[in-house]
Amino acid sequence: MDPATLTATALAALIRTRQLSAVEATRATLARIDRLNPGLNAIVQRMDDQALTAAAGIDAALARGEDPGPLAGVPVTVKVNIDQQGQATTNGLRIQSTLIATEDSPPVANLRRAGAIIVGRTNTPAFSLRWFTRNSLHGATRNPAFPGLTPGGSSGGAASATAAGLGAIGHGTDIAGSIRYPAYACGIHGLRPGLGRVPAFNATAGDRLIGGQLMAVSGPLARSAADLRLGLNALSQPDPRDPWWTPATASPYPKRAALALTPDGLDTDPAIRDALTATAKTLESLGWEIGEPALPPMREAMELQLTLWLAEFALGGTDAVAREADPDASFVHRELSKFAPPPTLESFMRALQSRARLARLWRLFFADWPVLLTPVSGQLPFPDHYDTSSPDAFASVIEAQMPQIAPPFMGLPGLTLTTGRTATHPLSVQILADRGREDLLLDLADLLAPEIAPVTPALPA
């Protein structure tokens, strides 16, 4: 048995009962990183000595009869765009290569408090601005399970590492699909929590502007549904540095799921439609009512989300893009700007006004239909770096990603659940729920888990 190939849930149980030491689990993961990461470039900042020291501390605490936390001894990775004390918060940028954090961000602090062992920091595109992962500082990350396809982005390093067994749980961030799409592309699972569920703050950057505050979140990527629950429980502990943080809520819900194969006219690949239909039929066989009601606007939410997202770049970001001079980031920023012209004060205020209306419509929808099954993307995962091959290619990517871009505008949580694969591509469904109902998404993941093939760590060629 290679401990590095076990799920976080299985590892935590073995370590807690002292059938396996945290040091043994960490050494196995570091050995797998040695073997596989050079071909993947998923982890771009290693910390072997710190990881082994932390693991020895977990073993000592267990020997004293103490409880080191629910993730005690479990190797995890952290994305390079959040602060970790003593490490550079590069966000894939040469201009931030010496930006050393002096304190842990809330997600990192929560992982440590839960007993997790951070074995490395994972790659992201420059500025975390793509659904593909390459930058001029750290280079490109590759997909371990589906060679030639994008590993996704911006948490492409996290998804690649988790899919390959270079950590049982990967930390990711998501403002427009950056957890959900990499999980899809690499054939694993990923949870985007809703607004306020996981505390956030980067002291190296200070407070974000309102778009980032309302839409950007941290969440887990994993190879099992149970690990997503374990990861969210660890990440979501309160932290007074985040004024948006809210506690979990849970209440009974009717077993009713809406199905949207082509939301707002999305051109959905037939294989994705089939995967969604099969998932709906599985739920129906388990006693759920399935319907296809009309949806609140999704395309309008996407357009307004891009307005808030790109407004940040108008205040210093555009200059940073120019100074970084990363070819991918420059191209993507230019093409994205075509979809969201610089806002005026009135248009920006109107966007926030519309957010209240759209959030209300979606909340009313979820009152009748607690969950929505919809595509993660309208298309199967793209060939690597397809987005920067031409303006037309980029436009086609944006159109396909509408189901990822829209939900964050309302602060909604979303789950990518990998349900199967074709000969060349993974197949996943996205499950959306009302703000604060991550519990419902995780319940469905648990319910569907026995009906789908387990995700085993990929061995890249």
Choice among 21, 155, 178, 218 that is catalytic: 178
pLDDT digits (tens, 9 = 90+) for 348-389: 999 999 999 999 999 999 999 999 999 999 999 999 999 999
- Cα separation values, 18 from 59, 72, 117, Å: 8, 11, 16
Here the tokens at position 6 are 């076990």
Query: Is the Cβ–Cβ distance between 271 and 427 less than 8 Å?
Result: yes
What is the per-residue pLDDT for 99? 98
Question: pLDDT (tens digit, 9 = 90+) per residue, 384-407?
Answer: 999 999 999 999 999 999 999 999
**Strands 75-79 and 169-174, sheet pairing:** parallel
Mean pLDDT of 277-288: 98
CB 415 within 8 A of CB 431: yes
Residue among 153, 161, 141, 219 nearest 185 (CA): 153
For 120, the 3-state DSSP assignment is: strand
**What's the pLDDT band for 280 if we cut at 50, 70, 90?**
very high
Give the pLDDT score at 47: 96
pLDDT of residue 343: 83
Instruction: Confirm whether 255 is a catalytic residue.
Output: no
**Residue 63 reports pLDDT greater than 90:** yes
CA angle 289, 277, 257 (to 5 degrees): 30
Average pLDDT over residues 234-258: 96
Dist. CA 427–CA 315, nearest whole Å: 39
Percent of the chain residues topping a pLDDT of 70: 100
Domains of the chain and CATH, by start: 7-235 (3.90.1300.10), 256-438 (3.90.1300.10)
Bridge partners (DSSP) listed for residue 416: 190, 430
Catalytic residue of the set 21, 79, 105, 218: 79
Q: Are 175 and 157 in contact (CB under 8 A)?
A: no
Whole-number percent of the chain with pLDDT over 90: 94
The yes-or-no answer on residue 281 being catalytic is no
Which of 21, 105, 128, 154 is an active site residue?
A: 154
The 8-class DSSP code of residue 202 comes to -
Q: What is the pTM of this model?
A: 0.98
